Amino acid sequence: MTIDLALPNPTRAQVEDFLFLEADLIDEWRLPEWLALFSDDAHYYVPSTDVAPDASPENNLFYIADDRFRLGERVKRLMKRTAHAEFPRSKLRHLVSNVRIRERAGDEWQVSSAFITYRTKEGQTDVFFGTNLHQLVWEGEGLRIREKRCLLASDGLRPQGRVSIIL
């Protein structure tokens, strides 16, 4: 790994703070602020549970495969009362742990973390868990998400059956 000393070099603690902020923004349903954490060329992926972690949405089933534009449309929809699956919205709690900076190449950091997301709605609590893989870049004054890939560790979405929230 070659380190360019002209680029900022965030510590693991700073990367953790960034990921904790991301989780808090989702939990507080501050989705427009969450969206602002993404770079203009960002992608957000939630592949199905039976494909390889590095699978492409071009050839495989993904629950979510959004580019920045589609992610923005998702946020707009979730913020409206007409988003029936999320009105009233679910109560969420994201727990993030085991944060590791896996690699740095130029201005990009590959970061992995474990997550558990609790979702309560209509008297039912669902648990989603797995690994988040983030590609983070330094833009302007801070980190931005170029890619987020949520790898669910469960065998499938049952009993939840739906992912209308943001993992």
pLDDT of residue 1: 43
Maximal C-alpha separation, the chain? 52
Alpha helices in 105-144 (DSSP H): none
Amino acid (1-letter code) at residue 146: R
pLDDT in tens, 39-79: 999 999 999 888 888 899 999 988 899 999 999 999 999 89
Q: Examine the pLDDT at 28 and tell me if it is beyond 90.
A: yes
Q: What confidence score (pLDDT) does residue 163 get?
A: 66
Q: Which fold has domain 12-152?
A: Nuclear Transport Factor 2; Chain: A, (3.10.450)
CA R_g for the chain: 16
Which pLDDT does position 86 carry in this prediction? 73
Q: Which pTM was predicted? A: 0.88
pLDDT value for 5: 47
Whole-number average pLDDT of the chain: 88
Which backbone phi and psi does 74 adopt, to 5 degrees? -60, -45
Domain extent listing, the chain: 12-152
pLDDT score for 71: 95
Task: Dump pLDDT digits (tens) for 100-124.
Answer: 999 998 889 999 999 999 999 888 8
Q: What is the pLDDT of residue 160?
A: 59
For the chain, how are helix, strand and coil distributed in percent, rounded to 5?
Answer: 20, 45, 35
Residues 155 and 98: their CA atoms lie apart, in Å, by 21
Give the pLDDT of residue 106: 84
Q: What is the pLDDT of residue 161?
A: 60
Residue 84 has pLDDT above 80, yes or no: no
- Residue pair 94/150 in contact (Cβ under 8 Å)? The answer is no
